[in-house]
Amino acid sequence: MSGSGELTWWALAASPLVLLVPVAFMAYFRLRLLKPVLVAAVRMGVQLFLVGLFMGYVFDANRLWLTILWVAVIIAAADGTLVARCPLRAKYLVLPGALSILVGMAAVIVFIVAGVLHECPFLDARTTIPLAGMITGNCMKQC
């Protein structure tokens, strides 16, 4: 599998520049969204930095147990979001929600990894974790 181009430190440092135009509009029109947007951007940057550090370790180690652990964390976060957004009582949703996310995610990952990518080893961290995150993220948009 060929990798993508490497992200340089300069490109990473320049990425917040995308916010300049929206922030300028918010400041010019004196919208009350400026402070929440800036706080959210800083929080996002810190979270992405910390997740990036951990993912670098997980990808370099490429151990099955770490891959399974990280996918379990993704499922737990998705299940928490599902339970929080649903008006039903949480105790009725936690286990069925987690199982439905797991079964749906596993089916798609098996199809993509084995049927489309022909990836070996099967649960490679660099393939499985991003796929699990994308599948779950798209599912959570529908909740």
Kindly report, residue by residue over 26-48, the tens digit of the pLDDT. Answer: 999 998 999 999 999 999 999 98
- Give residue 84's pLDDT: 86
pLDDT, one tens digit per residue, over 77-128 is 998 888 888 888 877 888 988 998 999 999 999 898 888 888 777 788 989 9
Write the CA distances from 137 to 31, 33, 102, 109, 122, integer angstroms: 29, 25, 13, 14, 22
- Give residue 70's pLDDT: 92
Cβ atoms of 94 and 83 closer than 8 Å: yes
Q: What letter does residue 6 receive in the DSSP assignment? A: P
pLDDT category of residue 74 using cuts at 50, 70 and 90: very high
